[in-house]
Amino acid sequence: MSRRSSGKSGGRGGVGLPILGFFLGGLCGFITYWSGAAIIATPDLMQLPTERLPYEFLRPFHTFTYWEAILVGIGGVFGITVARYRWRSMGLLSYIGLVSVIAGFLVYSWTVSIPKVPDDQRWLSYILFAAEAGGLGLIVVFSFYSLDAATRKRWTRRPEIVPWDPKLTPKAAFVVPIFNEPVELVEQTLAHLVRQEYPDDRYVVVCADDSTDPEVRQGVEEACRRLGVWHVTREDRRGFKAGAINHVERLLPEDIELISVIDADYWVAPAYLRSVVGYFTDPALSFVQTPQDYRNVEESFLTRRYKRAEAYFYHGIMPSRNEQNTIIFCGTMGILRREAMRQVGGFAEDQICEDAEISVRLAADGWKSLYVDRTFGRGLMPAVFESYKKQFYRWAFGNVRILFTRTGTILRSRMSVRQKFDYLVSNLHWFDGFFVITIAAMLVYLGLAPVFGWDAVTHHQRELLLLGLVPVVLLIDGMVRLHSVLGRAERKSFGDTILVMGMWFAIKMTNLSAVIKCMLGFKTPFIRTPKDPSHRLPRFRAFFRAIRLTKVESLFGSVLIATAVLNAVPTQWATPGQAERLLAVWLVVYGLFFLAAPIYAYLSYRTLRPIDHEGVPLERIHSERKSDRPLVSSSRGRRAGRSQGLQAGP
C-alpha cells in the first residue's frame, strides 16, 4: 500500500487566474525596473531642464532594455507560480508587490547605494546588507503563509465534519505525561478524559507519572484509582516526556490503535475522540492535530496577547501547511496512529521538541497528516513573563536542533519539493534575532560615530534612508496581513494586533540565546513550562523582576534610546542634520523593539489576577467510575497490571 500524497493544492480549473498572475507579476517587475531606474537617474535628472523631466521619467515606457525584459519575465513567472494557490486577486497583488519591493530594495542597495560608500566604510554596508537580506527573506516566506490563510479561495484539504459512526470505534489510549504537577490540576484533566462520549471498553486513560515528589506521586496514584485511570511510573526519567510516552506505548495492549497525548493542564471536551476517529479511515493518515486553546485568557495582560499570537499559528500557518501535508504534531490535542508511531521508532528521546520532530520522520516515511481546525480542549498558557520565556526558549532550542539533526532526513526523503521547503524553512524564523541585533548594533555604531570623530553618517546617508523607509512599509504591510489572519479567529482592534507583534519582539533575544547555545552544542534538559504562576506583584517588585528577567533587552534598549537622544539634540560633538535626525528615529524604533521585553514582563506581573476555573464535579465522577476500569502500575517497566487482571478489552 502506498502512503504517498501529492501535496499539491493548486487546483486545475481554468486559466484565468494564471493569466492574471502573469500580468500582475510582469507589471510589478516593470514597476520595480521603472522605480529603480528613476532613483538611480535622479541626480542626473536634476540637471535637466524642467520640460525634459516628464520624458525622462517615462523613458522605460517607450524603451525595452535587457534588464527590463529580465524583471518583467521573472515577475510574470513568479505571478503564475503564486496564482496556482488560488488566492483572491488582492492577495496575489499584495504578495507579488511585496516581493517586488523587497527585490528592488536589495538590488538597489547592492548596485547603487553600497558602491557610493568609500571603500574603508563598506564593511558596515555589507553587514547591514546581509542582515537586511536575511530578515527580508524571512518576511517573504512567512507572508506567504499568512496571505495563503487570509486570501485563499479554495481549500483542497480542509476536512469536513465526520458524523459519528458507532460501528467505527478503534481502540484508543489517552496518555497524560506529568512531572510534579499539582495533584488537583492533574485530577481535573483525568476527570475530563474519562467522560469521553465513546464506548468505555474502547478507550483507556493512562497517567505517565514521572514525578519525583513522593507526595505528588502518591496523590496522583490515589486520584487515578478513584477515576479508574491507569497509573504508570518508571525508575528513571530517561528521555523525559518522549521517554514516558514510549514507555507507556510498550505497556499498552496490542489492540490499541490510536494514541492521544494530552498535557497535564488540558480539559478535553467529551466529544473529542468520537469527532476525530472517523478521519483515520484513511489508512495512510499518521496523525490528526487540532488547535491548542486556553481557558485562562483573562488571567493577565500577557495571556490576552498570547491567545491572539497563538491564533496566528493555529488559524494561519497550520491551515496553509495542511494544504501541503506538512503540519506538525503539537504535543497535545493530537491523535497518533500507533502503527505509524512504531514504524518510525517512536518519539525521539534525544529531542526536547519530540512532538515536532516525529512529524518530520512521519512525513519523510510517506505518511500523511491532517489538521482539523476545531477546538476540542483548553489548557493553561503562561501568565507571567518568566514562564513565557522558558517555554519559548525550549521551543527555539528544540526546533533548531531538529533543523540541524534532521535536514539530511528531509533532503533524502521522497517528500515533494514544497514539503521539504516547509519543513526546512519553518524553523528559520528562530534566527531572526540575529538580523535584529545586527541592524541595531550598526545603528548604534553610526549614532556614536561623532563622539569618536568618525564621519560615518555622511557616508551611509542613502542606507539610512532605505533602512528607515523600506522597513516601515514592510512593517505596516506585515501588521495588515497579521490583522487579516487574526480576524479569521476573532474580531479585535488593530491595536490588539500591534500588541501581538510586541509579544514576538519581546521574546527575540530569548530565541537568539537558545539558537546560539544549540549551535554551540550545549545540552539543554527538558524544560517543563510552569503551570502555577506567582501572585500579582507590587510596582517596585514587578519592575525589578522584569529587569532581572530581561537584562540584555533592557540594556540594549536603553543604549539605543540614549544614542537616539545624542543624535537628535545639539551636542559638543555635532549639530544634528537631516541624516542624524533620521538615524535618531530608527534608533528609537529599534530601542522599542528591545524594550518590549521588560514592558511586557512588568505588565504580566502587575495585571496578574486569579482565575477561578470550575471543573467537573469530582465526587460524581468518582462514584460513576468506581471499580470501572483496571489499573496499571509499573515501576520496573513490566506489565505489572497482568497480576491485577488487566484486560485488553473485548
Which tops the pLDDT comparison, 28 or 602?
A: 602
505-545 tens-digit pLDDT: 999 999 999 999 999 988 765 555 554 445 788 999 999 99
**C-alpha 172: how far from chain center:** 29
Structural domain contains residue 155: no
131-148 tens-digit pLDDT: 888 888 888 888 888 778
Which is nearest to 387 in space by CA: 238, 545, 594? 545
461 Cβ neighbours under 8 A, 6+ residues apart: 579
Q: Are residues 114 and 183 in the same domain?
A: no
Contact 324, 366 (CB under 8 A): no
Q: Are residues 181 and 114 in the same domain?
A: no
pLDDT of residue 613: 72
Q: Show the domain range for 60.
A: 16-118
278-288 in b/e form (b: 16+ CB < 10 A) is: bbbeeebbbbb
Q: Are residues 27 and 114 in the same domain?
A: yes
The last residue of a domain, from among 51, 84, 118 = 118
**Strongest mean pLDDT among 156-165, 469-478, 549-558:** 549-558
Which tops the pLDDT comparison, 118 or 633?
A: 118
**Residue 562 predicted with pLDDT over 50:** yes
pLDDT of residue 236: 87
Mean pLDDT of the chain: 81
**C-alpha 407: how far from chain center:** 19
**Alpha-carbon gap, residue 335 to 341, rounded angstroms:** 11
Q: Determine phi and psi for 254, rounding to 5 degrees.
A: -65, -25
Percent share of the chain, pLDDT over 70? 73
- Specify the CATH number for the domain of residue 247: 3.90.550.10
Length of the chain: 650
Percent share of the chain, pLDDT over 90? 46
User: pLDDT band at residue 6, thresholds of 50, 70 and 90?
Assistant: very low
Number of domains in the chain: 2
Structural domain contains residue 450: no
Q: Specify the amino acid at residue 215.
A: E
Which is nearest to 290 in space by CA: 159, 145, 154? 159
User: pLDDT band at residue 458, thresholds of 50, 70 and 90?
Assistant: low
Starting at the edge strand found earlier in the chain, the sheet holding 267-268 runs: 267-268, 377-379, 293-294
pLDDT of residue 62: 54
pLDDT of residue 603: 96
Q: Are residues 99 and 191 in the same domain?
A: no
Which tops the pLDDT comparison, 276 or 24?
A: 276
Which tops the pLDDT comparison, 283 or 649?
A: 283
Contact 242, 354 (CB under 8 A): yes
Q: Determine phi and psi for 168, rounding to 5 degrees.
A: -105, 90
Structural domain contains residue 269: no
pLDDT of residue 363: 97
pLDDT of residue 142: 81
Measured on CA atoms in the order 348, 353, 359, 365, is the torsion positive or negative?
negative
Structural domain contains residue 31: yes
User: pLDDT band at residue 152, thresholds of 50, 70 and 90?
Assistant: confident
Instruction: Report angle CA 327, 322, 363 to the nearest 5 degrees.
Output: 45
**Alpha-carbon gap, residue 390 to 383, rounded angstroms:** 12
pLDDT of residue 43: 47
Structural domain contains residue 10: no
pLDDT of residue 648: 32
Which tops the pLDDT comparison, 115 or 460?
A: 115
pLDDT of residue 235: 85
Which tops the pLDDT comparison, 479 or 77?
A: 479
- The alpha helices in 318-431, defined as continuous H runs, are 318-322, 338-343, 354-364, 385-412, 417-425
The last residue of a domain, from among 118, 134, 157 = 118
Structural domain contains residue 324: no
Structural domain contains residue 263: no
Helix (H, G, I), strand (E, B) or coil at 300: coil
**Alpha-carbon gap, residue 203 to 196, rounded angstroms:** 9
Per-residue pLDDT averaged across 148-168, rounded? 81
311-322 tens-digit pLDDT: 889 988 899 899
State the DSSP string of 392-409: HHHHHHHHHHHHHHHHHH
Contact 30, 97 (CB under 8 A): no
372-395 tens-digit pLDDT: 999 999 999 999 999 999 999 999
88-140 tens-digit pLDDT: 767 777 777 777 777 777 777 787 777 877 787 788 788 888 888 888 888 88
226-275 tens-digit pLDDT: 999 999 999 888 899 999 999 999 999 999 999 999 999 999 999 999 99
Which tops the pLDDT comparison, 293 or 477?
A: 293
Instruction: Report angle CA 266, 501, 79 to the nearest 5 degrees.
Output: 105
**Alpha-carbon gap, residue 485 to 462, rounded angstroms:** 34
Residue 407: count other Cβ atoms within 10 Å of its Cβ.
Answer: 15
Per-residue pLDDT averaged across 558-577, rounded? 80
Structural domain contains residue 185: yes
pLDDT of residue 233: 95
**Residue 606 predicted with pLDDT over 90:** yes
Per-residue pLDDT averaged across 40-57, rounded? 50
612-625 tens-digit pLDDT: 777 776 766 665 65
Measured on CA atoms in the order 24, 27, 33, 36, is the torsion positive or negative?
negative
Per-residue pLDDT averaged across 583-599, rounded? 92
Helix (H, G, I), strand (E, B) or coil at 547: helix
Which tops the pLDDT comparison, 249 or 15?
A: 249
**Alpha-carbon gap, residue 118 to 135, rounded angstroms:** 25
Which is nearest to 566 in space by CA: 552, 578, 583, 590? 583
**Residue 26 predicted with pLDDT over 70:** no
